[in-house]
Amino acid sequence: MNNIKSIKTTMMTIETLKNRESVKYGFHIILICISLLIWSSDLRAESSVIKKSQNKMAEQNSLLKVADSKRLNQYLQNILNTDLPRNYQNPAQLNRVANGLISQMQQFGITCKEQKYSVNNQEYKNVICPLNIQAKNKIIVGAHYDVYGEYVGADDNASGVAGVLETARILSQNKNKLKSNIDFVFYTLEEPPFFRTENMGSAVHARSILNEKDQISAVYILEMIGYFDEKNSQDYPMGLGLFYPKHGNYIAAVANFSSRNLSGSYCQMMKQLKQLDCQKLTAPSFIQGVDFSDHLNYWQYDIPAIMITDTAFFRNKNYHTSADQAQTLDTDKMAQVVDGLANTLLK
């Protein structure tokens, strides 16, 4: 009798496992189909961008390759030079970094303002630095300057902050070529425990600009732009690895479907500059990693936004560890990322 009961139990277990495997297999098929749609959507977007850019080939000679890797390295050192980690538990260190950013932007002739707010009776601040040409529309270029835990956070996200600074320097010297107002924004409290909460610096900023939402044509978030590896270092969310390179020697432009023209324009500019390879990823936010930065707070209000990134933990295994140090970054390639953004904003 016990043997019969055991056999029945075993058969039921096998059937359950079969059902689970079927569900798992079906889920994989769905993800692959979504990936195909994403990939084909990116191809269509690229085709549209290429057609537009073909009419501007005469402008090739005006493209700038002026981002300075030595300056980027100096920005990194300034940001990383803190007595304690620049996390939410050390607001004095966050303030020191914020004040340094304000001072650096002043050297470019850009005056900044502080957007202060309180969390648990502690004051934090975003730094907002407008480059105003009296245009009707505005573009936002931003990066978060805080870190996770007790770590140095060179790639995450001193690299992004350095990229915003160098972009600001270039655009301030080419202000007469701009067609949009630019707000350079340095966000606080992007990292846990505030990630995906209303207390994220970018969430506070996004809410504050809703009255001018119609004038905001684009948001570019620089999130980890310094780690590159030509070996088989690149991972992807499930299903996407079929369509993207195995090497980690490219920059990614991540968009949702309503923002994909921004990523297409950026990657097309990188191609025109004949520099670092650029890969577009257009995907809904439920795909892992797609909304893992400040751009998510603009998507929430249907403001077009993309993340420019080295793909974070999908490539850089130093992510959120003590190994995320300045010597692991490639400032020459960071400069190429910045050149791509600066030229995109100037075209």
Distances (CA, A) of 155 to 112, 172, 191, 229, 309: 24, 25, 13, 14, 10
- State yes or no: pLDDT of 169 exceeds 90: yes
* Domain residue ranges in the chain: 32-346
Q: Indicate the range of 138-147, 154-163, 238-247 predicted with least confidence.
A: 238-247
The mean predicted confidence, pLDDT, of the chain is 87
Contacts 24+ apart (CB under 8 A), 88-92: 88/119, 88/122, 88/124, 88/146, 88/188, 88/189, 88/191, 88/193, 88/194, 91/122, 91/123, 91/124
Reduced to 3 DSSP states, what percent helix, strand and coil does the chain have, rounded to the nearest 5? 50, 15, 35
303/300 Cα distance (integer angstroms): 8
pLDDT of residue 10: 41
Residue pair 256/46 in contact (Cβ under 8 Å)? The answer is: no
| Beta-strand relationship, 122-131 and 181-187 | antiparallel
Residues 311-330 have pLDDT tens digits of 998 999 999 999 999 999 99
Asked whether the whole model's pTM tops 0.75, one would answer yes
Q: Indicate the range of 47-56, 204-213, 297-306, 338-347 predicted with least confidence.
A: 47-56
- State yes or no: pLDDT of 239 exceeds 80: no
Can you list the alpha helix ranges (DSSP code H) found in 82-221? 91-107, 160-173, 201-208
Residue pair 174/88 in contact (Cβ under 8 Å)? The answer is: no
Say whether 217 sits in a helix, a strand or coil.
Answer: strand
The CATH classification of domain 32-346, taken from the options 3.40.630.10, 3.30.70.890, 3.20.20.80, 3.50.40.10: 3.40.630.10
- State yes or no: pLDDT of 12 exceeds 90: no
